[in-house]
Structure 1
Amino acid sequence: MEQFQKSRPVAPVPGIPEPLVIGRRPMLGSIPGPLPTVRESPPDSVLDGAALPGLVVRAASVRGDAHRYYGTPRQDAMGLWQVNESQLLACVADGLSSKEMSHLGAIGACNAARNNLTDFFEHADVTTAAEHFVENIADDLNVRAAHGGFMVDALSTTFLAAVIDHSAETSRTRARVLRVGDSTAMLLHRGVWVPCFPEENGQEVSSSATHALPGGTRHVEVAVHDLEPGDMLLLCTDGLATPMTQNRQVGDQLSAWWSQPEPPSLPEFFWQFSFRAKSYDDDRTAICVWRV
């Protein structure tokens, strides 16, 4: 009978360190607790990414420590689609915490964005295009509420999207950014965070915090930004924006990680994105688009 050779000792595999604690240690743990029991609950965490001509994308959505502890669903959602060879659609949404089914609104808004993008391109003026775009998304949410037997505001969600025009054959990468509510867009330019919307001056956003779809279609904000080589466009919900603007250590640490010559790998990005900071236990979603 053939003898099997004795295998050589396997080198120990280093473990993945716990998420970095920035500042004071939070009281709650960062591990999932009970599974949510609500209808169509999304997974605890989502990780995505892409490499496109001239762009590298990293994206993640993570359930907050408070929702993990109480077994409630992640109310954030995100969407990432390559429209064609030179256009990318990225969006994030944050269901209002006071609405039990708002996670369905966040998911529905992102899906509706992809389904209605054709109408966005029919208008040359970016403000007009954005207004029609969010009206169509709101209409889809109204239909979703009717089919599900919900009150319309049960699906209330903020919404933030960017249509990014990029091409390996041109020297310009332009992002058309729009939002309803307090989700945030920033540029990381030479290691410095630059707000995409004018009222964001390093303080907590308050003027747009109460606006949400499907009812807030009149409160659309629009910004257009060109990305230089090395720049990164960040789209995020307030679960990331709030600690970034209220705790300078958080913004500085993310800038240090995300200003490196090479964007992080998917595992690196998820670990970095999972940092912990006391008092900040909300759901957290971000899409990072580097121009390389």
Structure 2
Amino acid sequence: MEQVQEVSAAETAEAVPGIPEPLVIGRTPRLLSRPGPLPSVRRPDTEIDGCALPGLEVRAASVRGDAHRYYGTPRQDAMGLWHDGDRRLVACVADGLGSKEFSHVGASAACEVAHTSLPDFLVCDEPVTGARRLIENVAGTIGGRADSLRVAPGELSTTFLAAVVEEVPERSVHRAVIMRVGDCTAWRLHGGVWVSCFQDDEPEAAVASSATAALPRDVAEVEVAHADLYPGDMLLLCTDGVARPMSAPQVSTQLSDWWRAGPPSLPEFFWQMSFRARTHDDDRTAVCIWRV
């Protein structure tokens, strides 16, 4: 008779690999990477999403920063992924201004409704005109949320970036039209090298500024860029919680090393997005779109 060897629960637990702590890049941060008090405003600590589309693979995450965790304040970043059912992906990120009490509402509202303005964008032959229409509609929604809260629209101030990516599986290149108000940004990862989609947004030259354009006020400040995605390329849309750490070559190189290999699993992507770097403890949001 074959003998069955019993394995204790402790031995089983030891055999299962655990998830390592987030990678520390550079100097060790002062704050611990763990939740603190519950915020009075209930928002999830983290959002994670992803999808597979013809010729595209997407990973997205919005992670509350260590400073917000420590002080028990809500995540002010937001993100959104939408598909129109007709070869178009809409992806967006938003970063509520830290000085505004209801900025998380503005960021969430912007990402919730961006896709509803896609028809207004598509009817315009000129991308800048279409982008302005989309941004104006998003700003109008933020203003409406402010009215419902009975606060000034500026209390919901948020930066915002959206990309409309055309899926054309029969062609080698997919084109993205990217629009923004504020300091959210976009880069294309090509051959392991970061290429800015907006002028003067190179990772090595990123400069932190205390003043930035924001919705719903600065609808006239919309900027438009384009990115052509070839097989093996990746488009990164992100808030400044990712962009500012990338000004350090150690961080930009590590992200390139991770993402040039192709899309990770959803749990692995969350772990990668949780990297730690001293003085960089803000909310962190990124949508990564691989051309596969």
Q: Same fold (TM over 0.5)?
A: yes
Q: What one-letter code is carried by the residue in structure 2 that aligns with 1:241? A: A
Quick check: 2:65–2:284 contact (8 Å CA) kept in 1?
yes
Quick check: 1:182–1:206 contact (8 Å CA) kept in 2?
no
**75-84 or 165-174: which moved more?**
165-174
The structural deviation recorded for 1:172 is 2.5
SS at match of 2:186: strand
Measure, in 1, the Cα distance between the counterparts of 2:86 and 2:276. 37
Measure, in 1, the Cα distance between the counterparts of 2:219 and 2:43. 26
Determine the structure 2 residue equivalent to 1:102: 103
Measure, in 1, the Cα distance between the counterparts of 2:194 and 2:276. 20
With normalisation by structure 2, the TM-score equals 0.94
Q: What one-letter code is carried by the residue in structure 1 that aligns with 2:156? A: L
The structural deviation recorded for 1:200 is 1.5
Equivalent positions of 1:30-109 (< 5 A) are 30-38=33-41, 41-109=42-110
SS at match of 1:49: strand
Measure, in 1, the Cα distance between the counterparts of 2:209 and 2:79. 23
Determine the structure 2 residue equivalent to 1:282: 282
The structural deviation recorded for 1:7 is 4.9
Going from structure 1 to structure 2, the CA distance change for 1:272 and 1:32 (only over 3 Å counts) comes to same
Output one character per residue of 1:161-183: Cα deviation in whole Å (capped at 9) or x when no partner: 00000122333200000000000
With normalisation by structure 1, the TM-score equals 0.94
* Matching residue within 189, 214, 217 for 2:216: 214
SS at match of 1:211: coil
The structural deviation recorded for 1:147 is 1.1
Q: What one-letter code is carried by the residue in structure 2 that aligns with 1:82? A: H
- Bigger proportion of residues as helix: 2
Structure 1 spans left out of the alignment, 5+ residues: none
SS at match of 1:84: coil
Determine the structure 2 residue equivalent to 1:226: 228
Measure, in 2, the Cα distance between the counterparts of 1:105 and 1:134. 13
Measure, in 1, the Cα distance between the counterparts of 2:80 and 2:263. 20
Going from structure 1 to structure 2, the CA distance change for 1:206 and 1:23 (only over 3 Å counts) comes to closer
Determine the structure 2 residue equivalent to 1:13: 16
Quick check: 2:132–2:220 contact (8 Å CA) kept in 1?
yes
Measure, in 2, the Cα distance between the counterparts of 1:149 and 1:102. 14
Going from structure 1 to structure 2, the CA distance change for 1:23 and 1:291 (only over 3 Å counts) comes to same
The structural deviation recorded for 1:205 is 4.4
Determine the structure 2 residue equivalent to 1:25: 28
Determine the structure 2 residue equivalent to 1:167: 168
Measure, in 1, the Cα distance between the counterparts of 2:52 and 2:210. 33
The structural deviation recorded for 1:148 is 1.4
Q: What one-letter code is carried by the residue in structure 2 that aligns with 1:277? A: A
Quick check: 1:181–1:208 contact (8 Å CA) kept in 2?
no
Residues matched between the structures, number:
284
SS at match of 2:244: helix
**123-132 or 78-87: which moved more?**
78-87
Output one character per residue of 1:192-223: Cα deviation in whole Å (capped at 9) or x when no partner: 01110012133224689510000010100000
Matched, 1:237 2:239: yes
Determine the structure 1 residue equivalent to 2:201: 200
SS at match of 2:205: coil
Structure 2 spans left out of the alignment, 5+ residues: none
